[in-house]
Structure 1
């Protein structure tokens, strides 16, 4: 029995781990590497294994850095079963199709500008994504065992990160050896507005664990909501627009709920126009409505009674590009939520090009920004940024509110780990070096491993 690491090893993105046991090869996640230039060459590179030899793929959740290379895996020969929760399956279909469209558009853009020598072909296309969707097989339910094959059983456990997210326990038997191997996936903080808390299994032998915020704690959710409301009121007083770079999955829906509750309580004026300027976020919001089983009981009850928790006064869904462009005419009073959350692409870059130079504008960051991304550059205090070849002075008021993060913070991660029952080995992945090192120290005297890309560990 062994495990090898082919993504998110000593880095944040590209989650991809290969388990070999009982004569089978099982992949856990197959995500995109993300960063300042979308890392095309790294994503297009060799997986470190032959995709055709993989028997099945288990998917923890539908974020791009966990599912984004599945169509490429299929394109290169994978034909096994993909297993995920029902909500993850629906969201992953949306994410992969959107990603394929973006790769096709990027390839066409390179060809239009005569960059044929760069070899920038689409990583995969919509047909590859459709082929990947066809491979989704059995549906995992939280806490219920799935017999993958003789000697390997899987259980999916609530991870509290995004809709349908799971930690995956593999119970492995080979000859006389038995191992309980847990993949945390991405973990969410407790007491979220929409989701149930993470609920890990106990008595784990080895855990492969994310460390995105392993070196810091978030502000409380309530304090973050209060700060968010004040930032919106401040922008309203100053007569400017608000731009919120928004992750389409979870963050957009959570913010809609927070805005709804703020208006209902009087913390926010009811006359504000709110634009969800992201086709993907609009579609994701519809998917949320189909999966009350993955939401907190109070929200599930609302949905089952026909009361949409994501509708609020003044909300406009901006699906078409021409409608997005019309937002350029709005000079004040608008709250524009647009993707992507790290500002690496999407419509938010167009809004930032127009609004960053306006001192009456507020830009509110409410999520993680990886090193090298435009979001991180702005958050770190850059006075000038480049957008579409144009240098833009940053005059807008910048807010960073990290209590909305879908990731557990340092204390949350430690509490989650403490529930596992003293694993004999903790393998840290999915984090920057600083966060990973700090979390490893916090786990002392537990045995901790930080694998390199391509490294193999015997179980």
Structure 2
């Protein structure tokens, strides 16, 4: 049994966990890696995916879905610290992602610990950035023969893409983080136009259902307003890019509608965000219609009226903490280090202050731990402080909830669904829900939840689909009609087209070959024609442009006489035509050795025509000739055949005109009046019946009918001919029988 092509899916990260996303796809000798992130709960080497489990020199492409650290931060380590550069692999991400990735990595490098924990250097970062190839949404990218991918908008953050990967005709859709809800500045994730075989999809929220955008915006602004009214400070830990821009748009609009808040400042404590704002303004065309229309009216939505970016001089955190109420968006969102962590430690002991967690928090991070509202909290310096600040959670995370995820999975209609980027508990609940949903479905849907380093092997039905184009596509076949044309295979894709379109679509040309064969012959032209008619039933007469008369066999092979000793065959070469030509050639070569030909040429004929079969269509031809031809046909198979003809008045039942075949010690009698075969040997009888049936069918196209004689007609013909030959009147015949085209036997004439 031939090996079935198998897709191997191996998670080097994000297998039953959130963080360090890294998915390895291997199929038909191609290797594609989707995302290379770090785990936010760890640092240094421990935060990386399991990079040592893969020979990176074999990787054909690395596809980065978006710029978040848990999806992209390990890329520099992989390109500069592994053997990735030894191979032919390339790195791809969208144009906005590459533009923002530079600033993200600069900030990541600055925030990372120095010394042994540093994953890479600024030089490594510069080398990696020069190696990245930016791509646009909907652009078909060919990596190598048989390996392509197309990016589609994924929502989530600016520039985020999901990738439809085609490996040797197998389609895999890798979503990365995606959102099916249009927010204030991003469009929702797109549905690819083709159905993939495998869907690798995030499961961050499992079976949770999140509240609608309008409801959570109203709850968020109301909570911020209430904290300010009680004289407190509002801390919004957020990533510098992504959800922060969404929150700023919401707050700026809310402040505009509430004049009493105009004296309350909103600070954006991120130098990274300030640098990246120009990127957001550059890629306005990738955002939703609301942002594009405002920008077209010269109303730049990212030039905020009530928000200021903080330059963050030394000691700015204490200055703000001692000042009047304000709102601060500070990074990072997980609060491990940086401005968000320092402000939290300063504001935590005051119950007037409020902390609002606005995004998904990875297990093991301070942002996740603080949601349990502990009474005390340990600072970065190791001190324990009381936690009196209020803690609230309103998710603005641009991930799909259960209803959005389930709807998208329904629309994609993939045979295999691989759940990634989700904690084990949430993922198992989602798997159970999807399994129950598709339990009674007509389509067989399989749900997979691989762990890290667990290789998932998927096999598929070996179906190949050819796309009809050009002339063949103008009029699609009706009622399951057969469509024929040239099948062109290129990079595991198949195209069916009319030969006339080959030049237009493939740049190739067509030609035909005419084959000609000359044969030396020692028999007459009419004898050859007779044999051809015996084989093919009908041989047409045709004339060439120069008046040359030739025989046309099966409408394919032309046969004409070059000279008395030469015959020429000509045909247009093709698989079927060559077979007909081969059989015609074999027949002609064996004509002079045919038993029928030997009989024909070894006796003196009493006919007054040149060739014994030249009168084959003569309606007055004697039945005795036809009988003799049938006898010769049988004799060619059974050797010894005698013609038994009783005299006039001697015919009795069972003793009429017949052909008698003797074989070994058995005899067979063929009654010429009824064509009934009788014999004491049943096996031999059946053999003769079969040959007789073939003889009658074969002879049909060569004459009109087989005439059955009677004793009186035989005697009458003998007297009329005066030569001892017998004949059967034309009026007595069986229209269901056919005559034999075999040569005359002079000895049978005299019987």
TM-score of the superposed pair, with normalisation by structure 2: 0.56
1:198 aligns with 2:189: yes
**1:442 equivalent in structure 2:** 433
1:144 aligns with 2:156: no
Please state how far the C-alpha of 1:154 moved relative to its aligned partner. 0.4
Matched residue, 1:429: 420
Summarize the alignment of residues 125-204 of structure 1 with structure 2, pairs less than 5 Å apart: 125-137=121-133, 139-173=134-168, 178-201=169-192, 202-204=194-196
Distance in 2 (CA, whole Å) between partners of 1:225 and 1:376 is 22
- Give 5+ residue unaligned stretches, structure 1: 109-119
Whether the 8 Å CA contact 2:30–2:167 is kept in 1: the answer is no
Which of 77, 82, 95 is the matching residue for 2:104? 95
SS of the residue aligned with 2:369?
Answer: helix
CA shift, 1:287, in A, is: 1.7
Deviations 1:335-394 (A, max 9, x none): 111011111222111101100110110111111111121111111121111112121211
What is the rounded CA distance, in whole Å, between the counterparts of 1:277 and 1:196 in structure 2? 26
Correspondence for 1:369: 361
Q: Quote the Cα distance in structure 2 between the aligned partners of 1:362 and 1:289.
A: 31
Partner of 2:384: 391
For residue 113 of structure 1, what is the aligned residue in structure 2? none
- Residue 55 of structure 2 is aligned to residue 63 of structure 1: no
Secondary structure, counterpart of 1:188 in structure 2: coil
How many matched pairs?
A: 438
**Which residue of structure 2 lines up, in the alignment, with residue 458 of structure 1?**
457
CA distance in 2, matches of 1:429, 1:286: 33
1:275-354 superposed matches below 5 A = 275-322=267-314, 324-325=316-317, 327-328=319-320, 330-354=322-346
8 Å contact from structure 1 (residues 159, 200) kept in 2: no
The answer as to whether partners of 2:32 and 2:61 remain within 8 angstroms in 1 is yes
Q: Following TM superposition, where does structure 1 have runs of at least 4 consecutive aligned residues deviating by more than 6 angstroms? A: none
Q: Distance in 2 between matches of 1:11 and 1:267?
A: 45
Measured after TM superposition, the shift of residue 101 of structure 1 is 2.4
Which residue number corresponds to residue 11 of structure 2? 5
Query: What whole-Å deviation, never above 9, does each CA across 1:234-291 have from its counterpart, x for those lacking one?
Result: 1121111111111112111001100121123339722220111112222233321111
What residue is the counterpart of 2:118 in the other structure?
122
- Asked if 1:239 corresponds to 2:245, the answer is no
Q: CA deviation at 1:161?
A: 0.9
Residue 31 of structure 1: which of 37, 40, 47 is its match? 37
Q: Name the Cα RMSD after superposition.
A: 1.9
Structure 2 residue 77 is the aligned partner of structure 1 residue 72: yes
TM-score (norm 1): 0.90
Partner Cα separation in structure 2 for residue 382 and residue 270 of structure 1:
34
Is the alpha carbon distance of 1:406 and 1:222 closer, same or farther for their aligned partners in structure 2, counting shifts above 3 Å? Answer: same
Equivalent-residue separation in structure 2 for 1:292 and 1:69 (angstroms): 28
1:98: Cα distance to partner?
A: 1.8
Q: Distance in 1 between matches of 2:260 and 2:250?
A: 10
The answer to which of 153-162 and 49-58 deviates more is 49-58
> How far apart, in 2, do the equivalents of 1:244 and 1:124 lie?
30
Contact 1:248/1:281, CA 8 A, preserved across alignment? yes
Q: Secondary structure at the match of 2:48?
A: helix
In 1, Cα distance between the equivalents of 2:49 and 2:108? 14
Q: Highest Rg: 1 or 2?
A: 2
Maintained 8 Å contact 1:241/1:331: no
1:34-64 Cα shifts (integer Å, max 9, x gaps): 21x4364242864421233323211111110
1:400 aligns with: 393
